[in-house]
């Protein structure tokens, strides 16, 4: 990645500023547990207010200099969006009960709505995120979203996954370059080759983990069969050991993929982003991210889910602490953009269907 900016400047000419994260796990737990209880008591209606309350706390504890970020979404708008999404999901469920043909037909009807959902979700997310009173914004077009979401999915399937790295690269570039802060547009200097390298490393290590895990499992099962006094010529495998070993292999591979791709892709996305002559730097450590994910998973299971808010704070604190804003001393002030309203339906649909709209 090139570290040069416009006007012949480089990252060495910029002033490095660190972000601070002041959230406390115990405070966030109190917010989280109240949100869970009220959401259950109201049969889910409070979930919109719970989302805004949690995000306002997290945003308000991310500081750049003496100013914290702010989240200004209207819970009522989020609730309306969730109701519409719930209706769509119920209709899909009914079509699945009636016939798989009706279900597939409904999915085909909804597929053209994906670009609309992506643009609306990203717009709602950014326009309700503020810093020093200025809102972020997103100006992406539906046709561009269609290229990088439903059409690129088809490309990935037809190429047996070979187009996946280019799809992720195109998606990141689209989401970043169409974003604004005030009237200033973000830029992206990343290259598709870096994405292919990251995914290639992931594929190789995943293969090694699976093969090594299977070999270790076979050896362990054979040793256990011999130790139990089974027939030396025909040792019978212990199916319980096989089940536990298989689950451990899947868990290890899953943790590796999540931690590696999260650390590497998030670091590269932000380090490749620009805001005028301002730049960003994020260097996350894969071993640290793997430890956070693994220890969080164990703690969440051991506490029956009660460690979830603490786990989120741990990961966010690490990411924010490693984030650097490289400020240009010659950059002009950022002007406020045109205020716009947008509904939350797209944002809630993106969340329900797992669409990736954030960086």
Query: Quick one: pLDDT at residue 243?
Result: 81
Query: Quick one: pLDDT at residue 351?
Result: 46
Best CA proximity match to 87, nearest among 105, 100, 106 = 106
Average pLDDT over residues 127-145: 91
Beta-carbon contacts of residue 40 (< 8 Å; ≥ 6 apart) = none
> What gap in Å lies between CA 278 and CA 11, rounded to an integer?
9
Tokens found for residue 278: 């301002």
> Tokens 């990203």 correspond to what residue?
122
Least confident range from 125-134, 154-163, 345-354: namely: 345-354
> What gap in Å lies between CA 5 and CA 189, rounded to an integer?
10
Average pLDDT over residues 13-20: 84
Local confidence band at 63 (pLDDT 50, 70, 90 cut-offs): very high
Query: Quick one: pLDDT at residue 355?
Result: 42
Query: Quick one: pLDDT at residue 345?
Result: 47
| Residues 162, 117 contacting (CB under 8 angstroms) | no
Percent of the chain with pLDDT strictly greater than 70: 83
Average pLDDT, the chain: 84
Choice between 240 and 244, residue whose per-residue pLDDT is larger: 244
pLDDT at 2 over 90: no
pLDDT in tens, 161-181: 899 999 999 999 999 999 999
Least confident range from 25-39, 121-135, 168-182, 228-242: namely: 228-242
133: left (phi over 0), alpha (psi -120 to 50) or beta: left
| Residues 154, 161 contacting (CB under 8 angstroms) | no
Range of 87-96, 234-243, 341-350 with top mean pLDDT: 87-96
Percent of the chain with pLDDT strictly greater than 90: 50
Average pLDDT over residues 15-33: 94
pLDDT at 225 over 70: no
Which helix (H) or strand (E) segment holds residue 343: the answer is: none
Choice between 339 and 47, residue whose per-residue pLDDT is larger: 47
Least confident range from 102-116, 234-248, 274-288: namely: 234-248
Tokens found for residue 152: 């690129």
Give the start-end residues of each E strand in the chain.
Answer: 15-21, 62-64, 67-71, 129-131, 134-138, 179-181, 184-188, 273-275, 278-282, 323-327
Local confidence band at 108 (pLDDT 50, 70, 90 cut-offs): confident
């Amino acid at each position: 990645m090139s570290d040069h900016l416009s006007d012949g400047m480089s990252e060495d000419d910029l002033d490095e500023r660190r972000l601070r994260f002041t959230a406390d796990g115990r405070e966030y737990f109190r917010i989280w547990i109240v949100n869970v209880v009220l959401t259950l008591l109201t049969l889910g209606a409070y979930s919109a207010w719970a989302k805004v309350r949690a995000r306002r706390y997290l945003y308000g504890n991310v500081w750049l200099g003496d100013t914290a970020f702010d989240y200004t979404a209207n819970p009522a708008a989020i609730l309306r969006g969730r109701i519409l999404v719930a209706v769509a999901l119920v209709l899909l469920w009914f079509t699945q009960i009636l016939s798989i043909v009706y279900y597939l037909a409904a999915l085909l009807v909804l597929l053209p709505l994906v670009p609309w959902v992506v643009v609306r979700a990203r717009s709602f997310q950014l326009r309700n995120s503020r810093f020093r009173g200025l809102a972020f914004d997103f100006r992406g077009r539906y046709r561009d979203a269609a290229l990088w979401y439903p059409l690129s999915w088809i490309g990935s399937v037809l190429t047996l996954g070979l187009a996946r790295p280019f799809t992720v690269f195109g998606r990141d570039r689209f989401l970043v370059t169409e974003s604004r802060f005030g009237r200033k547009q973000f830029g992206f200097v990343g290259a598709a080759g870096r994405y292919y390298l990251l995914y290639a490393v992931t594929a190789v290590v995943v293969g090694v983990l699976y093969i090594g895990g299977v070999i270790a499992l076979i050896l362990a099962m054979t040793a256990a069969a011999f130790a139990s006094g089974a027939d030396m010529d025909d040792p019978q495998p212990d199916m319980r050991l096989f089940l536990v070993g298989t689950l451990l292999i899947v868990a290890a591979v899953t943790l590796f993929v999540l931690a590696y791709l999260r650390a590497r892709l998030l670091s590269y996305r932000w380090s490749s982003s620009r805001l005028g002559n301002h730049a960003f730097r994020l260097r996350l450590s894969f071993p640290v991210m793997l430890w956070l994910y693994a220890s969080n998973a164990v703690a969440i299971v051991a506490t029956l889910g009660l460690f979830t808010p603490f786990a989120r704070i741990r990961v966010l604190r690490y990411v924010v602490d490693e984030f650097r804003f490289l400020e240009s001393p010659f950059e002009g002030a950022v002007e406020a953009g045109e205020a716009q309203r947008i509904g939350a339906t797209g944002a809630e649909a993106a969340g329900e269907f797992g669409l990736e709209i954030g960086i």
